[in-house]
Amino acid sequence: MEYTNLDEQYEKEQIDAEAALLYNTFPKAKFTISINYDELDTVITNQPSIILIYNFDCYCYRKNKRKTEYYYVRGKNITNKYLIQSLIEQGFYPDCNHKFLEGFMKMNNSAFKYEILMGS
């Protein structure tokens, strides 16, 4: 199947519409949300409390090392949306080129620790 300019235009309009939805849902975010809007209500865990961890281990911090930051979240059936809102409320700000929140990954060594996944 060959793509046309109309296909590309439609795809761009879809992306722009979803970006607007995400911005309007989280207007106070100091990062860009790259999680699909349809995935916001996906339950990440049923644990009553978890810890989100951001390591600042990208090249942006080679010269100015930063300590790992921890964000504590409590709730029932914790979703992507709930985690994003919790990060916003706790002042999460990556302050580097990696400003796109791509998701959360459960750490292998724990039932309640999740790494914050950022991209550029």
Q: What is the pLDDT of residues 12-71, one digit of tens each?
A: 888 889 889 999 999 999 999 999 999 999 999 999 999 999 987 777 677 777 788 999
Q: What is the pLDDT of residues 76-107, one digit of tens each?
A: 999 999 999 999 999 999 888 778 999 999 99
* DSSP codes joined into one string, 2-66: ---HHHHHHHHHHHHHHHHHHHHHSTT-SSEE-S-GGGTT-EEE--SEEEEEE---SGGGSSS--
Q: How far is CA 54 from its chain centroid? A: 11
CB atoms within 10 A of CB 4: 9
- The amino acid that residue 106 corresponds to is K
Q: What is the pTM of this model?
A: 0.87
How do strand 49-54 and strand 43-45 relate by DSSP bridges? Answer: unpaired
